[in-house]
Amino acid sequence: MSSIPEISVLIATYNTPFQQLQRAINSVFNQSIQDFEIILVDDGSTNDPGKKLEAFCKKHASRIHFFRQENKGQSNAINKAVALSQGTFLSVLDADDEYLPQHLQSCKEQMTVYDLIASTTQTIVDQPGDYFVPDRLDPERLIHVDDCVLFATLFGKREVFLKRKFIDGYGADADFYDWAKKHFRLGKVDLRTYVYYRNNPESTCEQMKVKLGKKSNSPQIK
């Protein structure tokens, strides 16, 4: 691996169960492209008294750069990861999801055409309603995940991420994508090399759906 990695994989975690986070990191280790670094920012987790994560990161210190901060939210943690990264390309991964082995290679191949991409996912659900999430512009309306820009599927050239920070709150991914469309070459591509676990009842999307009373197998689409 060169002194400057080709790809920086950015992970923010907050109280993610260790087994899920380990699964996410191992999926990066198993990539067909091996010239990468992982920037892992723990956003004030309180669920690891045995320090399993710290021990795991020390074991893989040559590949994982591990940082802790007070709880400031996912966007802030990813912004910190961007600032600490060195890669020519940056890729995001949610701590409770995973990449298929060809994900980074498939994304990198798109960079001959685009500066930043979002991609479709291989979505894991328990019921049909899990495919639908609140629309960031109208939370009362549910839309299919294939029609969303998902934070963790973002992959792009370093300069795109350095131009603007992610905002706080729901829809930070789509907000960033909409801004970037005005300045760079963007594409939503159908790769399905990102495994998105939508069957997580603790996810932000699912908590919003519960609050809105939209936890059902047959979502009401306006």
List domains and CATH numbers for the chain. 7-212 (3.90.550.10)
d(CA 44, CA 77): 10
Average pLDDT score over residue span 49-57 = 92
Q: For residue 154, which amino acid is it?
A: L
Residues 6+ apart with CB under 8 A from 210: none
d(CA 188, CA 37): 25
Summarised one tens digit per residue, pLDDT across range 116-157 is: 999 999 999 999 989 998 888 787 889 999 999 999 999 999
Q: Are 122 and 196 in contact (CB under 8 A)?
A: yes
Quote the pTM value. 0.89
Residue 203 pLDDT: 59
Mean pLDDT of the chain: 90
> Which of 14-28, 168-182, 187-201 reaches the highest mean pLDDT?
14-28
Summarised one tens digit per residue, pLDDT across range 96-114 is: 999 999 999 999 999 999 9
Query: How many helices and strands (H and E) does the chain possess?
Result: 7, 12
